[in-house]
Structure 1
Amino acid sequence: MRILQALFFPPEQPGGVSSMVPFMLDRFNKRGWETELFSLPKRVRGKGAEEVRFVTFDWKAYAGNPVVDKYIQTIKDYIWWTKMRIKSSYDIIHAHHPIACLVMKRLFPDTPVLMTVHSSYERELMLNGKIDKNGPEYAFLTSIYRELEEQADQLITVSNSFKQYLSEFVQEPERIGVIPNGFDEKRFRPVHHENQVPQLITVCRLVPAKGLDTLLYACAELKRKGHPFVLHLIGDGPIRPELEALAQEIGIYDDTIFYGYMLHPEDFMPFFDVFVLPSRAEAFGSVFAEAALCGLAVVGTDVGGIAEQIEHGVNGLLVPVDDVQALAVALEKMTSDPMYRYQLARVALDKALNTYSMSRVVRQLRSVYRTYRKES
């Protein structure tokens, strides 16, 4: 069986799709399933010129809006690049981005195309203050889900909560499959260590949706109560200057390290103590599973896929979104009681190994692929 894994941009950094698909491809190939990776280079811009039409709605009603126009042009570019690069046929195409799915079904209508919806672009844009829920961008982007339902042979998503989110925009939500992300266990190894001062770490893009302002205020409260810590922020993004200024303003700049972008944070993540990320929304939250596989105790918000990974007080701690005091209390528990955080970390590691292994993802996908291979 020949399978194409179609991404959006190339996998350049860990986290989410990028941390899963290349390793998944390797597992399939080792089992004799010929699997290839395809994506659109970031340098390809403004090359495509073919007309774009959708079956379920008229996108031209939203034309003239920069977000919409850029999205449509990217579809054209993906068509141009795919036509130029793909010369062979596949038994199954598995797309990991809406644009990849729509283009692949357009160019290969007789090939089963499966689509995994990994995240919500419109929700990210809203939380980052880029679009409004009542605006044309939101209407356009949410209409894409119905188009995906019409075009793809199978829709899959990464958590039950995100399936519920998608159900508002499709006609048959019961047909959406759920396959949580999986991770190559060999990449993540807990390391025994003893830090005199508790080390907190987060790994994410520095954007408003991640709730990092809440984290900084909670850490300031932790310091006010006399609990020492070092906060390590790995990642880059548009609000980095604001976060650095805020850390300075509330008196924790000397306790915080801004690393910027890092290619393989999992290489030294095991030497820290607590992973914390107070996201305002997450379809899955891959980095929580990655942190658990590194042996860290985890603290997250009670939203989306995070709440499906963490059982409060059993394998981590959950707090409400934007609740500085609750987050400060959770961090105080973690930093002041090494045995407590160790116990939570051990349970989190066991769950991650049993639930989020790459072997489990490969088994589930092989079962799905076989179904469509038989039908084709």
Structure 2
Amino acid sequence: MNILQALFFPPEQPGGVSSMVPYIQERFIKLGWQMELFSLPKRVRGKGQEEVLFETFDYTEYRGNKIVDKYIQTYRDYVWWTKMRIKKPYDIIHAHHPIAALVMKQLFPDTPLAVTIHSSYERELILNGKIKEGGPEHRFLMSIYGELEAKADQLLTVSESFRSYIGAHVKQPERIKVIPNGFDEKRFKPISHDNAVTQLITVCRLVPAKGLDILLHACAELKRQGHPFVLHIIGDGPIREELEALAVKLDLYDDIIFYGYMLHPEEFMPFFDVFVLPSRAEAFGSVFAEAALCWLALVGTNVGGIAEQIDDGVNGLLVPPEDPAALAAALEKVVTDPTYRYNLARAGWDKAKKVYSLQRVISQLKKVYVQMKPE
């Protein structure tokens, strides 16, 4: 069977699906399957000219809106690039982004199409203050779910909570299958260490949706209580200067290290003690599973896929979003009790190895592909 994995971001893009799919490809090739990757290079912008038509709604009522116009132009660019580059048929196409999925079905209507919806672009934009809930951009992006349902032969997503979210916007939510992300355990190597001061780490894009302002306020409370720590922030983004200013205001600047962007943070994580990320929303939260495989204690918010990964008090700690006091209390537990922290980390590693192994993903995807393959 010859399968095309259609990405949006190039495979070298760090984090999430773009870094996971090449490992899926490697495993399938070892099993004797044919599998290729395809994505839109960053240099391809403003090339496509074809008109875009959707089956389930008329997008032209949203024309003139900056975000919608950019989305449509990206769709055109993906069409242009796909026509330029793909010259042979595939048995199945598995897309990992709505634009990739809809373009592939447009250009190869007879090829069975699976699409994994990995995240909610509209929720991210709302939480980051880019669009308003119920506004034209939001309505346009929500309409895409119905279009995907009409075009895809199999809808997939990465968590039960995100399936529920998508299910409210499609006609047949029971068609959606859940395959949580999987990770090649060979990438993650726990390292025995004993830090004199508890080392906290977070890895994310520096945007409002990740809740790092809440984390800084929680850390300020932790410091007021006299508990020493160092917080390492790996990642970059539009609110970095704002976060640095907040750290100064909260008298935290000497307790925090801002690293900026890092290509392979999993090589760095095993030297720390606690992974913390108080996201305001998260479809899955791959970085939690990655941190667990590095044998870090987990502290996260009770939202989306994070709450499915963490069993509160067993393999990590969950707190409500937007609650610095609750987050500070959770951090106090893991900062002041190394044995408790170790036990959480060990349980997190055990669950991640069992539930989020790449082998489990391969097995589940094989079943999906076999069921989809035309006779």
TM (normalized to structure 2)? Answer: 0.99
Q: What is aligned with 2:361?
A: 361
Whether 2:31 is the aligned partner of 1:27: answer: no
Matched ranges for 1:14-163 at <5 A: 14-163=14-163
What amino acid maps onto 2:105 in structure 1? K
Instruction: Give the CA deviation at 1:9.
Output: 1.7
The 3-state SS of whatever aligns with 2:3 is strand
The 3-state SS of whatever aligns with 2:243 is helix
Give the Cα–Cα distance (whole angstroms) in 1 for the partners of residues 251 and 186 of structure 2: 39
Instruction: Give the CA deviation at 1:330.
Output: 0.3
State whether residues 230 and 256 of structure 1, in contact with CA within 8 Å, keep that contact through their aligned partners in structure 2. yes
State whether residues 19 and 183 of structure 1, in contact with CA within 8 Å, keep that contact through their aligned partners in structure 2. no
State whether residues 13 and 264 of structure 1, in contact with CA within 8 Å, keep that contact through their aligned partners in structure 2. no
Instruction: Give the CA deviation at 1:15.
Output: 2.0
Give the Cα–Cα distance (whole angstroms) in 1 for the partners of residues 29 and 99 of structure 2: 25
State whether residues 9 and 18 of structure 2, in contact with CA within 8 Å, keep that contact through their aligned partners in structure 1. no
Instruction: Give the CA deviation at 1:268.
Output: 1.5
Instruction: Give the CA deviation at 1:11.
Output: 2.5
Whether 2:280 is the aligned partner of 1:280: answer: yes
Instruction: Give the CA deviation at 1:14.
Output: 3.2
Give the Cα–Cα distance (whole angstroms) in 2 for the partners of residues 233 and 257 of structure 1: 6
State whether residues 190 and 293 of structure 1, in contact with CA within 8 Å, keep that contact through their aligned partners in structure 2. yes
1:229-279 deviation per Cα after TM superposition (whole angstroms, max 9, x unaligned): 000000000000000000001000000000000000111100100000000
Give the Cα–Cα distance (whole angstroms) in 2 for the partners of residues 234 and 12 of structure 1: 18
Instruction: Give the CA deviation at 1:20.
Output: 1.1
Give the Cα–Cα distance (whole angstroms) in 2 for the partners of residues 142 and 122 of structure 1: 7
Q: What is aligned with 1:271?
A: 271
What amino acid maps onto 1:64 in structure 2? G
Q: What is aligned with 1:297?
A: 297
What amino acid maps onto 1:53 in structure 2? L
What amino acid maps onto 1:310 in structure 2? I
Q: How many residues align?
A: 375
RMSD between superposed Cα atoms in Å? 0.6
Give the Cα–Cα distance (whole angstroms) in 1 for the partners of residues 113 and 142 of structure 2: 20
What amino acid maps onto 1:228 in structure 2? P
The 3-state SS of whatever aligns with 2:35 is strand
Give the Cα–Cα distance (whole angstroms) in 2 for the partners of residues 212 and 64 of structure 1: 33
Give aligned-pair identity as a percent.
73
Structure 1: tracts of 5 or more residues without a match: none
TM (normalized to structure 1)? Answer: 0.99
Whether 2:191 is the aligned partner of 1:191: answer: yes
Instruction: Give the CA deviation at 1:16.
Output: 1.3
Q: What is aligned with 2:230?
A: 230
Instruction: Give the CA deviation at 1:12.
Output: 2.9
Give the Cα–Cα distance (whole angstroms) in 2 for the partners of residues 19 and 192 of structure 1: 26
Whether 2:186 is the aligned partner of 1:179: answer: no
Give the Cα–Cα distance (whole angstroms) in 2 for the partners of residues 5 and 275 of structure 1: 31
Give the Cα–Cα distance (whole angstroms) in 1 for the partners of residues 156 and 372 of structure 2: 14
Give the Cα–Cα distance (whole angstroms) in 2 for the partners of residues 248 and 12 of structure 1: 34
What amino acid maps onto 1:248 in structure 2? V
The 3-state SS of whatever aligns with 1:300 is strand
The 3-state SS of whatever aligns with 1:60 is helix
Instruction: Give the CA deviation at 1:176.
Output: 0.3
Q: What is aligned with 2:244?
A: 244
Give the Cα–Cα distance (whole angstroms) in 2 for the partners of residues 66 and 52 of structure 1: 16
Q: What is aligned with 2:313?
A: 313
Whether 2:214 is the aligned partner of 1:214: answer: yes
Structure 2: tracts of 5 or more residues without a match: none
State whether residues 127 and 280 of structure 2, in contact with CA within 8 Å, keep that contact through their aligned partners in structure 1. yes
Give the Cα–Cα distance (whole angstroms) in 2 for the partners of residues 127 and 349 of structure 1: 30
Give the Cα–Cα distance (whole angstroms) in 1 for the partners of residues 112 and 177 of structure 2: 16
What amino acid maps onto 1:26 in structure 2? E
What amino acid maps onto 1:109 in structure 2? P
